[in-house]
Amino acid sequence: MARPGAACPPPARRVMVAARALLFWALVYSYCGVCACIAGLRLLWSIGRRPGETFRWVVRENPPACLNDPSLGTAVHGTPACPADSGLRFHYVAAGERGKPLMLLLHGFPEFWYSWRHQLREFKSEYRVVALDLRGYGETDAPPHKENYKLDCLIADIKDILESLGYNKCVLIGHDWGGMIAWLVAICYPEMVTKLIVVNFPHPSVFTEYILRHPSQLIKSGYYFFFQMPWFPEFMFTLNDFKVLKSLFTSQATGIGRKGCRLTAEDIEAYLYVFSQPGALTGPINHYRTIFSCLPLQHHEVIMPTLLLWGERDAFMEVEMAEITRIYVKNHFRLTILSEASHWLQQDQPDIVNKLIWTFLKEETKRKRE
Please state whether 253 falls in left (phi above 0), alpha (psi between -120 and 50) or beta. Answer: alpha
Q: What angle do CA 364, 368, 370 make, to 5 degrees?
A: 120
- Please identify which of the residues 288, 314, 328, 348 carries the catalytic annotation: 288
Are 29 and 155 in the same domain? no
In this prediction, residue 56 carries a pLDDT of: 85
- pLDDT tens readout for residues 231-290: 999 999 999 999 999 999 999 999 997 667 789 999 999 999 999 999 999 999 999 999
Per-residue DSSP letters for 133-194? Answer: --TTSTTS---SSGGGGSHHHHHHHHHHHHHHTT-S-EEEEEETHHHHHHHHHHHH-GGGEE
Are 301 and 335 in the same domain? yes
Are 200 and 82 in the same domain? yes
Evaluated on CA atoms 357, 196, 73, 124, the torsion sign reads positive
Are 195 and 332 in the same domain? yes
pLDDT above 60 (res 6): no
Q: In this structure, what CATH number is given to the domain that contains residue 331?
A: 3.40.50.1820
In this prediction, residue 3 carries a pLDDT of: 42
Active site residue 343: yes
Domain count, the chain: 2
**Residue 134 covered by a domain:** yes
**Residue 197 covered by a domain:** yes
Are 22 and 45 in the same domain? yes
- Please identify which of the residues 91, 175, 287, 343 carries the catalytic annotation: 343
If DSSP codes are grouped into helix, strand and coil, which group holds residue 102? strand
pLDDT above 80 (res 79): no
**Residue 205 covered by a domain:** yes
How high does pLDDT run on average in the chain?
A: 89
**Residue 326 covered by a domain:** yes
**Residue 272 covered by a domain:** no
Active site residue 288: yes
232: exposed, middle or buried (Cβ count in 10 Å: 0-12, 13-18, 19+): middle
136: nearest Cα among 162, 152, 112: 112
Q: Which residues pair with 198 in a beta bridge?
A: 174, 308
**Residue 327 covered by a domain:** yes
Are 204 and 348 in the same domain? yes
Model pTM score: 0.90
- Please identify which of the residues 133, 141, 157, 176 carries the catalytic annotation: 176
Are 192 and 307 in the same domain? yes
Considering only 87-96, 214-223, 248-257, 295-304, which range has the smallest mean pLDDT?
295-304
Please state whether 300 falls in left (phi above 0), alpha (psi between -120 and 50) or beta. Answer: alpha
Are 47 and 72 in the same domain? no
**Residue 173 covered by a domain:** yes
- Structural domain containing residue 27: 18-51
Out of 51, 74, 93, a domain closes at: 51
Which position has the higher pLDDT, 121 or 42?
121
Are 108 and 176 in the same domain? yes
Are 88 and 32 in the same domain? no
Please give the backbone phi and psi of residue 336, each rounded to the nearest 5 degrees, phi first. -125, 120
In this prediction, residue 358 carries a pLDDT of: 98
- Calculate Rg over the CA atoms of the chain: 21
Mean pLDDT of 38-51: 85
**Residue 281 covered by a domain:** no
Active site residue 107: no
- pLDDT tens readout for residues 182-216: 999 999 999 999 999 999 999 999 998 898 899 89
Are 170 and 22 in the same domain? no
Kindly list the distances between the CA atom of residue 268 and the CA atoms of 75, 149, 250, 273, 342, in Å, as whole numbers in the listed order. Answer: 20, 27, 9, 9, 17
If DSSP codes are grouped into helix, strand and coil, which group holds residue 369? helix
- pLDDT tens readout for residues 139-174: 999 999 999 999 999 999 999 999 999 999 999 999
Q: At what angle do helices 177-188 and 151-164 cross, to 10 degrees?
A: 70
Are 302 and 330 in the same domain? yes
